[in-house]
Amino acid sequence: MSREIIIADTRSNLDLESKFQILKTFELQNRHDQTIIIETSEFSAVCPGTGLPDVAKLVIEYVPDRLCVELKALKYYLFSFRDDAIFQEPVTDVIFDQLMRLLKPKRLKLTMRYNTRGGFDVTTVAESPVVTRSAESEKK
């Protein structure tokens, strides 16, 4: 007897391309690497199991290569998940993948600390390996 619960992929219900189009960037103007840390406690989506809101503190830490995320667009992008029924782990993957696609950073870490629900504290973390790019490799 299997103890595994089979649940449909909650990402399949989302229009991911429309969400991605909300995001905007601007060109990095620094000469030195900087870690940019963006935090908000206003992220929410809907738990597909209960229909209740999943509220999280979201922390994005990244070292840009050439591009930075524009904050107003990021706010609207994150708000776009508010009515979406998606589990905590897949939404972390979606946001992480879309930020990697958009920014192509040297490093990215996304942490989502969800409010306590049912007596459980859940934190999901997606992190990229450090990428070093030389000027020569960018020209190719």
Q: Which domains does the chain have, with CATH numbers?
A: 14-139 (3.30.1130.10)
Q: Could you list the mean pLDDT of each consecutive 10-residue stretch along the chain, which spans 140 residues?
A: 63 83 94 95 93 96 97 97 93 96 97 94 93 54
Burial class of residue 77, CB neighbours in 10 A (0-12, 13-18, 19+) = buried
Residues labelled as active-site residues: 47, 54
What local confidence, expressed as pLDDT, does residue 118 receive?
86
What local confidence, expressed as pLDDT, does residue 19 receive?
94
pTM score, whole prediction: 0.86
